[in-house]
Structure 1
Amino acid sequence: MIYLDYQASTPLAPEARDAMLRWLDGPEGTGFGNPHSPHRMGRMAAAAIEVARDQVAAMMPPGGRVIFTGGATEAINLAIRGVNATGSISVSAIEHAAVLDTARALDRCHILNVSAEGKCNTRQDLPGDTRLVCVMQVNNEIGTIQPTVDWQRKARSAGALYLCDAVQAYGKQQVTGADMIAVSAHKLHGPKGVGALWLRDGVELIEVQTGGGQEDRLRSGTLSPALIAGFGAAAALAKERIEQDAAHVEALWMRARELFADWTLNGSEDARWHGNLNLRRNGLDVARLMSDCREVMFSAGSACASGSGRPSHVLKAIGLTDSEAKSSIRLGFGRYTKMAEIEEAARLINMAAEAQDL
């Protein structure tokens, strides 16, 4: 099988797996201790979590703290609900459902438009009562990179906080400034089931999940040393390999663009993470294509919305028709993708697509 769905999840790095095994069992079966217990095994587990906290924080801006969560969705909910804003929440039209649905659930959501290139620019006005702005760094469906530094400045000038969903950026490029940053381990070769919310110094949230307040009195529940150690190891490895990984992705991107030259690219070619190739072909039956290319793991949209039958809200936001959105596919690749896999996947996908034209 050829895996080209890196936006949905990434392969677990061997280094992250090794770090996790220490806390799933450990020497003489001592790795399972509760990190919130005061005895020696608890203190050992707690120390491992603090090492991982430093590793995750090392790829964040200076002057903040890391709160571990069960994933990016929980981190985003903690940020949006924890602000306890009484005014509007301004959200870009191409945010992940974790942001859009949470903001809408609070019934104070203002949508920020995006260009046909998939960029959310700061020339548009914010409602006068805006208290929180949410603009992601890299879009999960089309890979476009947003002007997050400009949005942070605009939010600050409006007296609002700025939340950045950096799930697709973290570990791949420099995460830029914000008041709050949400990230997920399994998008940078760490384990599923763990994420983090970075809070700038001075930002205070209310507790939205009660029951112990183990994480900075903001997030309750027993932390998993194994998952967090894996997250930390994956973050440390990403920091070490960031230039090497980017160069590899760029080479894969250039070859993929050659192999899919007769497809239409969705979103900006330049202002995007080049590990995301979102393409369309008029009249394409994507369900049939995926059935005909069962050995290639790719997506018809975000994994969170797959199977809904609805056209992508991201592709609709950049101006595509329902038909164009439904004839689009997303190929995602990264550190462990081989050039030969890109070439074989392109051969299979192109052959299956051309068979539909007959």
Structure 2
Amino acid sequence: MSVVTRAWAETMRRLQRECNSFQQPGSSKSISHKFAVAGVHLGYCRPADAQAILAAVPGVFALEPSTVANEPAVLTLSPALNRDSPAARTAAVMGVMQALRRSNTMEALAGWRDELFAVAPEYGGPVYFEIERAAASLLGVSQFGTHLNGYVRTGASGNPAQDLKMWVSRRSLTKPTWPGKLDNLCAGGLPSGMSPHENMRKECSEEASVPAELSGRCVAVGTVSYTSELSRGIFPECQFVYDLELPESFQPVSADGEVGEFYLWDVPTILHSISTPEFKPNCALVFLDFFIRHGILTPDSTPLYPELVSGLHYSGPLARD
């Protein structure tokens, strides 16, 4: 495919580095405080964010000297909260984040969701507390989500680049993050207490009106992971990726207003589009992963193929050490 040139591959590698910006030279990683609870490392917090958090409600958070030479102090909870229950920690942290929200000084909290994420050292690990989704980036804790590749088989040549079309959505202009950007057919953050498959089916219903008998066929196919640093904070993210073959008769309809438009595009159109600023960056990587897994991008046809494959998977969503 003519679109897959050396220049295209280099653009996609730059996009991967952008998504993993916290691990790149020039990020705030070296000056950020590790965030820990009861001695367990859970995230990172930038110095200015840490000062705001410490001042918002005194006595909830604290700084402790790092046990590693020349590292910044560790941001943690008060000794009493470190010994307390997850529910008590959740309430105390929520009080701090609500105070910061009222102050209207933290960009991240402008997109308050009233949705809780679990805070754990790894996926499926013990939950140390729950945090408002919009506030998670202030403490740089791991966030998880689910993304769906919805595709339609329109040919039978045996060449997936010719036989497949994929649904692309455009985010509503009222979305608090990445408004108007191109996206996967369905995607969403993973709320506390919900399984990835359950969440994927929920997003299918809410964002694209995919009938339950279809969404139940979605197949878990892997993950895409990275740690971004944006103006809103630090985002160690792991996206659970699902594929779903849809009938040609299916037409997505937004049920919750979070999608402005849907497009059914051929492979060359999407390959071009994911290399442009029109796409939400992590969603572009989910499409890239699909094209690699389905043999649309191969070592024979794709410059920088090994780098593009490895750039979809960094060492865990937090990549702590």
In the superposition, the TM-score normalised over structure 1's length comes to 0.28
- Greater strand share, structure number: 2
Structure with the greater relative contact order (CA < 8 A, sep ≥ 6): 1 or 2?
A: 1
In the superposition, the TM-score normalised over structure 2's length comes to 0.30
- Greater helix share, structure number: 1
